[in-house]
Amino acid sequence: MRTLSILFFSMLLLSCNERGQIDSTNQSENLDIKTQDSLAFELCSLYGFDQGIRDKEIFMDLHRDLASKIDLMNFDKLITIVKKYGYPNEKLLGERNWTHQCVATSATAIMLHNPHRLVNDVEYFNLFLEEAEKGNMDRAFLATVMDKYYWSISQGQKVMYGSPFGVPCIETKEETNKLRKEIGLEPLNDNEFKDCG
């Protein structure tokens, strides 16, 4: 019951925080403490919402479609943050805020629950690639998000980039190295692939 209360409180916070506070300018440098704290609070709210629907007691009762809608809503809110401030990182939020797990892992969790948005929408892919090119986001993590998509649709059998989700197939070597190059990663050597027959 306590977890359910936290989930609904998070929903309330998110809906209250949605009222046009964020515009489309990117101000990733020199945020004042108040703005850093506000952004940290919003990220923690998103993280609570993201993780709350994954609580086994709650998630079993929620229809999968509702969970997908919550994931999409969180992703849309993350996009709004990234467009205004840049990808959340310690430099943006400050060391004091970054020590909180909900701040440091919010964007990671949201992206890993929405990899299809990057693979299927070039606008989102380009937005996060630009953040990687600015140094706001790790390129290897971008590859991990993309691989989560391929891993999910293949039921754990295939990845394209090479990441914690697995090793790509040698049969896709040319495509894999092309995709890696596109996001600024070095190509893989033959011994970094597996034979998928």
Q: Which of 174, 149, 175 is nearest to 163 (CA)?
A: 149
Q: What's the rounded mean pLDDT across residues 60-86?
A: 88
Residue 120 to residue 115: CA distance in whole angstroms: 9
Q: Which residue has the higher pLDDT, 30 or 36?
A: 36
Q: What's the rounded mean pLDDT across residues 114-126?
A: 97
- Say what the pLDDT of residue 34 is: 96
**pTM above the 0.85 mark?**
no
- Say what the pLDDT of residue 58 is: 63
Residue 79 to residue 75: CA distance in whole angstroms: 6
CA angle 51, 158, 138 (to 5 degrees): 55
Output the CA–CA distances (angstroms, integers) from residue 97 to 17, 103, 194, in the order listed: 19, 7, 41
- Say what the pLDDT of residue 52 is: 83
Domain spans, the chain: 2-113, 138-197
CB 126 within 8 A of CB 159: no
Residue 64 has pLDDT above 90, yes or no: no
- Say what the pLDDT of residue 60 is: 61
